[in-house]
A and B are shown apart, each in its own frame.
Chain A
Amino acid sequence: MDAIAGGCIAMIIEIAAQGGIGGFAAPNLNKRIDVDQQSTQLRRELCKVFGPEQLARLARTPCNACADRLIYRITIIQGSAAPRNFTLREDQLPAQMLDLLDQF
């Protein structure tokens, strides 16, 4: 049983960014990722790092130097369940997760 079958079916990830040195919403950083439409490997990676529990844990990471950081508002839509919203600064996301985001 892989990670996809483990609770990541029909997941949509919506990401909006704002902040940064300009302080404004950066419209080109609005992304919508339909996990089901991705390759098997990408699906596995997305399911692994964008799980709601993982995001909730990251959101609790304290900020040591927050100046000019982008702020991501991430919405996870999964099946018929109510969407879950998370607000994370980019410094709260591990580098591998940011690299994954940058693929879209």
Chain B
Amino acid sequence: MCFSLSCASHHPITCIIPPHMLRVLALRGDESTARMARSLLKQTEKLRDERNEHATTGPGPHGDFAGLEAQARSDDGSLCCPDRRIHDGEFKAALPGRLLRQEGDPSAGDRDVDLAYDGAGDVFSLFAEEYGRNSLDGAGMPLIATVRHRRNYNNAFWDGSQMAYGTGDGQVFRTFLELSVIGHEMAHGVIQHSGGLIYENQSGALNESIADVFGSLALQRRLGQQVHEADWLVGRGILGPGINGTALRSMKAPGTAYADDMLGQDPQPWHMDQFLTTSDDNGGVHINSGIPNHAFYLFCNYVGGRSWELPGRVWYRALQRLNNPMATFADWADQTMSAATDLAGPGSFETVLLRRAWKLVGIGI
């Protein structure tokens, strides 16, 4: 066994939304909220059963962050291992497809498979080594991915239990196997297992933004980049050769990633004054995410150094403490302030810089 049984007793979900609140949400929430509440209740019940099962073997309670860090460590204290399983979709829609490479296997000699395998390892390592998280669910779940999903498929997604990557059609997209994209999709899994953020309007845009943040941090950490060395692009190089654009999104300069006859102009705002109210794209989740994305970039820029360190820890801690699947941008900003205060101290330079970053995008805290 890689991991101690303490994982089960510190699953983030158990700390996020109290069951009584979930039951109220399941009864009184609108359709999507009620669905999420029912799903979380099921997971909570499962975890309670697991915890009871292991009650005699688990250690006592940890302090918050120390406890989280302990999750990704094996009994001998060393950081433990991902469990990657990369499948070939063979251009069909059924998931997960044919298993081509699993943990410990040598390179498959298949570029897509190897990129998915290595990328999953980098993202696992970010969450485990920097934030003490054992895989996407905090309890060592396998990292299942399918490459070559569907034919000419212009998308990548997290389906609730695995990642899937299309090849692109060669015109609009040329690939989706790029580390910030892989990190983005895997971060959706982390968000889901951290209490979730309902995928519409502001909470949906936060879901998207947090996925972009950890996708970008996975890439920056892989490249060993300081804040000023990073390009802060999500999906750099994945657009097709005929598309006038460099990436899907820019966290440094939202709205500038592409300007193309076919795709139009990158619609992302960076300030609340340009917040877009729309019914498309689940209420503009990939559009308005530019605002919290830019706040994170500004915070990193002010702090300097490696962004996956203090800024990443602040964002990760805020996600674990959010406790609100319907959070607004203002709720999230407040939560990041609490996390920064916990980690850097009340009245610290870092908390002042964070407040300034949020203010610059039009969110006062």
Contact = CB atoms under 8 A, between A and B. Distances in A.
Interface residues of B, number: 47
A35 to B, nearest CB: 20
Contact of A26 (B31, B94, B154): B154
Given A67-B188, A67-B211, A102-B93, A28 B172 contact: yes
Contacts of A64: 35, 39, 160
Interface centre among A29, A66, A67, A68 (most CB of B within 10 A): A67
Interface in A25-73: 26-29, 62-71
A87 B9 CA distance: 41
B302 interface: no
B285 interface: yes
Nearest to B262: A27
A29 B171 CA distance: 12
B207 A23 contact: no
A69 B207 CA distance: 14
A71 to B, nearest CB: 8
B155 A65 contact: no
Contacts of A21: 155-157, 176, 181, 184-185, 235, 248, 286
- B interface, over-half SS: loop
Contacts, number: 99
B262 A18 contact: no
B248 A18 contact: no
Contacts of B171: 28
B155 A63 contact: no
A22 B267 CA distance: 11
Interface in A71-104: 71, 91, 95-96, 98-99, 102
Contacts of B342: none
Given A26-B172, A65-B160, A98-B150, A18 B281 contact: yes
Contacts of B284: 23
Interface string B12-45: 0000000000000000000110010001000000
B92 A99 contact: yes
B158 A62 contact: no
A19 B282 contact: yes
A50 B108 CA distance: 39
B264 interface: yes
B165 to A, nearest CB: 10
8 contacts: A20-B157, A21-B156, A23-B284, A24-B264, A64-B39, A65-B158, A98-B93, A102-B93
Shortest 10 CB-CB contacts between residues of A and residues of B: A23-B286, A65-B160, A98-B93, A95-B93, A20-B155, A68-B157, A95-B94, A102-B151, A67-B188, A66-B199
Given A21-B184, A23-B287, A62-B35, 5 more contacts: A20-B154, A21-B286, A23-B281, A67-B199, A68-B157
